[in-house]
Amino acid sequence: MAALKWRDTISVRTARYRNWRLGLALAGYLALMACGAPASEIQQIEEEIKAVKAEMIKLAEKLEQIQADQQQVLSLLAKQVPGPENRALSSQESGLTVDQLLQTPGRYLGAQVTVRGQLGLVLIHRKSFFLKGPQEQVLVYFGNLTDNDTVQRLTTQDWPGQITVTGTFMTADQIRVGYQIVAERINSQ
C-alpha cells in the first residue's frame, strides 16, 4: 500500500511540474505579446502550449487508469487474504490438534482458535506453557487469564489428559518458538 501511495505522490509531483511548465510558457507568451515579438515565435509558443496541454490530458488519463488498476488489485487482495475479523472458523476447526494447527499456520494467524493437546513444560516466570501434540508443540501465554483458579492449577499441579486452549494464534516474540497462542480460556478434558 505504501508503494501505491509513493506512485500517487510521484504522479502528483509530475502534474505539478507540468502545471508549472505550462504557467511559465503562458507567462512567456504574454511577455512576448506585450513586447511585440515576431509572429513565428508566438506561433511556436502557442504550439508548445498545445503540446503541453495534450501531454497533461494523456497524463491525467494514465493516472485515472492507474487508480482504477490499483482499486482492482486491492479488491482482489481483499478477497484472497481475509483479515482476522473476517476469519470465521468453521465447526470442524473448533477443536484443532497442535499438529493440525502448525501444518498451515498462515491460515490461522490473527484468528481465534481452539486447540487440544497435552500440557508440557510450564514457564511460571513467563506466564506460559507448551501445549504438546504428537510431533509439534506451541507456546501458550496465560498471563491475561482472569480465572485465578486456572492459573493457580497450571502453576501448582500436573494436568492429566488433554487440555483445550482457546485464544488468539500469532507469531511468538521468542527466538526459538515460531508461534504462540494468547489464551483466553483453558479447559481440561
- The model's pLDDT over 88-138, given as tens digits with 9 standing for 90+, comes to 444 344 578 888 888 888 888 888 899 988 888 888 888 888 888 888 888
Q: How far lies 118's CA from each of 26, 57, 81, 115, 159, in Å?
A: 79, 67, 32, 10, 8
User: Do 131 and 154 share a domain, yes or no?
Assistant: yes
Q: Tell me: do 171 and 104 sit in the same domain.
A: yes
In this structure, the answer to whether residues 173 and 102 fall within a common structural domain is: yes
Domain finish residue from 80, 95, 128: 80
Q: Does 75 lie in the same domain as 13?
A: yes
pTM above 0.85, yes or no: no
For residue 31, what is its C-alpha cell?
Answer: 511577455
Per residue in 63-96, pLDDT tens? Answer: 999 988 888 887 777 666 544 444 444 434 457 8
pLDDT-derived band at 10 (thresholds 50, 70, 90) equals low
| Residue where one domain finishes, among candidates 46, 80, 114 | 80
What pLDDT is recorded for position 161?
77
What domain range is 160 assigned to? 86-188
Q: How far apart are CA 89 and CA 96, in angstroms?
A: 11
* 43/105 same-domain check: no
Structural domain count of the chain: 2
Q: What is the mean pLDDT of the chain?
A: 76
Round to whole Å and give the CA distance between 63 and 54. 14
Q: What is the pLDDT of residue 55?
A: 92
- Pair 97, 179 in one domain: yes
Domain limit, last residue, from 58, 80, 102: 80
Q: List all residues 6 or more positions away from 140 whose beta carbon is below 8 Å from its beta carbon.
A: 128, 129, 130, 131, 165, 167, 180, 181, 183, 186
